[in-house]
Amino acid sequence: MRKQKRNRTGFSHKPRREQPADALVEVTIERILPGGAGLAHADGRTLLVELAAPGDRAFVRIKRVQGRVAFASIAEIISPSPVRVTPLCPYFGLCGGCDFQQLSYEAQLAAKVEIIRDCLRRIAQIEFTGEIPITASPNIWQYRSRAQWQHDPQKKHLGYFERASHRVCDVAACPVLVPSLQETLESLRGQMNESLLPEEATEIQAVAGADGASLAPPVPGHPTREVSRRIGKHHYRFSAEGFFQINHELLEPLIAAAVSDARGETAIDLYCGVGLFTLPLAHRFTRVLGVEANAAAISYARRNLEGALLDNAVFEINRVGDWLAENSERLAPVDFVLLDPPRAGAEDGAIEGILALQPRHISYVSCDPATLARDLKILAARGYRLDSIAAFDMFPQTHHVETVAHLKTE
């Protein structure tokens, strides 16, 4: 007779029951994790449950297993969380855009603050015990002034990718779009249904200003044109060919937080886009250098600077990492560096280049707490302390959050 192996306590091991993919498991959602999934535990395994609310008790269906982690979706809610609400959008769950519509707005804000704190602790290894204030969006619907639409000419679908796929979810109305972009979407759908939308236009970038919408690539009746928006005392021109922030109602407080009380001789604005932060910095520093790889954005930045009657800033078209490698030692030390990179965070070599500038003060504007924490870990190891951190809900109904972190030398 074969003997069972015994552990150090003298009790025999029971083999852990493996849950196959597509199995149903009863769980309670503990909290929301970075990335937006709900955390649960069952049968010795960690479960990441999509579109969950903290406090939900539910049967979840395991979709995929990776080691001791299972990825799951809710099959049936046994008892809903007290912060669970009915999603407004009929495409919720299918469309890959919004993943927080099941949460009350107060719960969305609380989850985002905890996501930031979790990333600081787990990735950056920074135990930040101070407050992380979050500025709510004035509008939690009809706030989005930028969109990326997918077009499937064979199926005549226009909208966004479905969750975790490259199938196009056909969307007639999107409740987070500002009215001018919703009108543009409806116009494009009319063209598509009449076979007038070019088949090669499979991905369409759209932005809205105070004076209408701009599309890239252009389609009949919808050119890639200049639009504009006044933010505080500055007038910004931009188009769909370059980046401009999504939630315009939050830009004044975001700029104020990012620039803070910084003043001095030299400031450098990395990933400067059309000069959103460069113009306010030019009022506070003797000279400002703006760096951006997108030539169209730099063209607008120069025009925006001229329109503001400022002449103490210079813009350069270059990849940030390359520009820093070529210029950091020559310019060091500088008073202030502001960076606002894309979701992937600072590119290879950029953080080392910033360190070579020897700035007294760094302002890091980020739309992804995980990549922010990755970069903060390097800066903290090289003598910078996290002085303050604040959040801005630029993306209601999603797990995404804008964060402004200030770092100073020890």
Does residue 8 fall inside a structural domain?
Answer: no
Same domain, 223 and 242: no
User: In the 8-state DSSP scheme, what is residue 2?
Assistant: P
Does residue 55 fall inside a structural domain?
Answer: yes
Give pLDDT tens digits for 247-303: 999 999 999 999 999 999 999 999 999 999 999 999 999 999 999 999 999 999 999
Give pLDDT tens digits for 49-67: 999 999 999 999 999 999 9
Mean pLDDT of 143-158: 97
CA distance 364 to 347: 14
Confidence of residue 22 (pLDDT cuts 50, 70, 90): low
Question: Mean pLDDT for the chain?
Answer: 94
Which of 44-52's residues contact partners 24+ apart within 8 Å by CB, and which partners?
44/16, 44/68, 45/19, 45/69, 45/70, 46/70, 47/71, 47/72, 48/72, 49/73, 49/74, 50/74, 50/99, 50/163, 51/92, 51/93, 51/99, 51/102, 52/102
Does residue 3 fall inside a structural domain?
Answer: no
Same domain, 267 and 221: no
Task: Report the alpha-carbon angle 180-181-184, nearest 5.
Answer: 90
- Report the side by side order of strands in the sheet with 38-42: 24-28, 57-66, 69-79, 45-50, 38-42, 31-32
Beta strand 384-392 with 134-135 is parallel
Please determine, for residue 9, whether its predicted confidence score (pLDDT) is greater than 90: no
Task: For residue 77, list its beta bridge partners.
Answer: 58
Task: For residue 228, list its beta bridge partners.
Answer: 237
For the chain, how many structural domains are there in total? 3
For residue 403, the model assigns a pLDDT of 98
Does residue 19 fall inside a structural domain?
Answer: no
Does residue 101 fall inside a structural domain?
Answer: no
Please determine, for residue 21, whether its predicted confidence score (pLDDT) is greater than 90: no
Give pLDDT tens digits for 67-89: 999 999 999 999 999 999 999 99
CB proximity list for 115: less than 8 A, separation 6 or greater: 32, 33, 34, 369, 399, 401
Same domain, 278 and 388: yes
Q: Three-state DSSP class for 340?
A: coil
CATH number, domain containing residue 282:
3.40.50.150
Q: Model's pTM, two decimal places?
A: 0.92
Does residue 165 fall inside a structural domain?
Answer: yes
CATH number, domain containing residue 193:
2.40.50.1070
Confidence of residue 20 (pLDDT cuts 50, 70, 90): low
CA distance 278 to 298: 11
Same domain, 292 and 165: no
Same domain, 163 and 135: no
Same domain, 331 and 386: yes
Our answer to whether residue 367 is catalytic in this structure is yes
Task: State which of 208, 227, 246 marks the end of a domain.
Answer: 227
Same domain, 219 and 278: no
Please determine, for residue 34, whether its predicted confidence score (pLDDT) is greater than 70: yes
Mean pLDDT of 116-132: 95
CATH number, domain containing residue 44:
2.40.50.140
Task: State which of 204, 227, 250 marks the end of a domain.
Answer: 227
Same domain, 209 and 277: no
Does residue 318 fall inside a structural domain?
Answer: yes
Mean pLDDT of 184-194: 97
Same domain, 288 and 211: no
Same domain, 117 and 172: no
Q: Which of 89, 95, 272, 367 is catalytic?
A: 367
Helix (H) or strand (E) holding 75: strand 69-79
Domain assignment of residue 307, given as a range: 106-139+229-409
Does residue 15 fall inside a structural domain?
Answer: no
Give pLDDT tens digits for 322-372: 999 999 999 999 999 999 999 999 999 999 999 999 999 999 999 999 999
Task: For residue 405, list its beta bridge partners.
Answer: 364, 389
Hey, how many other C-beta atoms are within 10 angstroms of the C-beta on 12? 10
Give pLDDT tens digits for 199-220: 999 999 999 999 999 999 999 9
DSSP character string of 85-99? ---S-TTBTTBSS-S
Beta strand 313-317 with 285-292 is parallel
For residue 23, the model assigns a pLDDT of 75
Please determine, for residue 222, whether its predicted confidence score (pLDDT) is greater than 60: yes
Hey, how many other C-beta atoms are within 10 angstroms of the C-beta on 131? 10
For residue 168, the model assigns a pLDDT of 97
Same domain, 128 and 154: no
Mean pLDDT of 210-233: 96
CA distance 369 to 134: 13
Same domain, 150 and 117: no
Task: State which of 202, 227, 252 marks the end of a domain.
Answer: 227
CA distance 322 to 316: 12
CA distance 404 to 242: 22
Confidence of residue 5 (pLDDT cuts 50, 70, 90): very low
Lowest mean pLDDT among 23-27, 30-34, 401-405: 23-27
